[in-house]
Amino acid sequence: MDSIVVTGGAGPLSGDIPIAGAKNACLTLMPATLLSEEPLTLTNAPRLSDIKTSTDLLESLGTEVTSMQDGKVLVMSSHDINNHTADYDIVRKMRASILVLGPMLARDGHAVVSLPGGCAIGARPVDLHLKGLEAMGAELELKDGYVHAKAAGGLKGGTVNFDFASVGATENILMAATLAKGTTVINNAAREPEIVDLADCLRAMGAQIDGDGTSTITVQGVDRLGAATHRVVTDRIELGTYMLAPAFTGGEVTCLGGRLDLVGAFVEKLHLAGLDVSENARGLTVKRSSTGVRAVDVTTEPFPGFPTDLQAQMMAMLCIADGTSVLEEKIFENRFMHAPELIRMGANIDVAGGTATVTGVDRMKGAPVMATDLRASVSLILAGLAAEGETVVNRVYHLDRGYEHVERKLGAVGAKIERVSA
């Protein structure tokens, strides 16, 4: 099993870091192929293990998937869906697999989908997905760990009211509504850029959608969707992760393809912490203040608030900040599992329920640590950049689900980092 070895104190970082297409967007866009018999082509696709899992799932249903340009272009054709069961052996690997449910049900009126798996960061139930589909006339039964769904005569437009702004549920219902008979209104919809990206793709396929990016989305169902080519939006979480790197080392990096509108609330906290962020034609350039990093309080919230997927990385930075910071996690329970690993490296962190209090230390020390989930894994790598000696991050299969070639990208700007095989 691979590990990532980081040697701290290599000096300031300098140079460009290319930011990939968004994992969370691509995993949502791929199931959209099930809505049409004509090809869907995605460009700027990230090259990640989760994309391979999604490919395996679609191929198991009958979709033909062709990977081109070293995986950056995916051409998918679902002209012959010959299987409507998403099997547990594939779905258990990745929570986003539940997103095949709405498209298959909308297109063919039936689907059987295993309850999903993914990172161990909380329950993340799929009940909102199911309630939304029921509001559109679906008949659902949970049996032996699978959702058995039917819609005799097809889905019908309806009003879907979410208890909270679930990204996954919004995506599933949005896709299903494109082929439903009549008008569907989604209230308390998620507003994330990945939702807007999905809506843009669906419109390119012929869908009629209004209000994406707001809390109310309206979809007028159409009889069929056609072919389209769509570029996957920049990954705002990878972007935010690499924007933090100079905070640990000093120096200046430019995150190619970065956009302020994707990370507004995050950038506000970086400014308060003493980082300078500027937007230019090439992306976002970040450098640390000469006085170092200052403490700052953070509360995770749905977009456009501070993203939960950047909380672990932010905590790592605040471990070396001047002062005491309070991080409040309001999206997922059990998402401070990286804290004990950072403490192994000398951090001063106290966790109580959904709140972590971090008091900055003068220095951290390299240690063997274990990645507990995707974002936790990269937070430990960032911490290793500032730690004395060598940090060995184990169980990096989590990392490979969401970051392509992290050792190459950081190594290219001056970090001393390598991947080793046991």
Cα gap 345→355, rounded to integer Å = 20
Q: Which of 119, 201, 255, 319 is catalytic?
A: 119
Q: Verify whether residue 319 is a known catalytic residue.
A: no
Q: State whether the Cα torsion 311-292-249-262 is positive or negative.
A: positive
Burial per residue of 323-353, b for 16 or more beta-carbon CB atoms within 10 angstroms, e otherwise: eebebebebbeebbbbbebbbbbbbebebee
User: What residues are annotated to the active site?
Assistant: 119
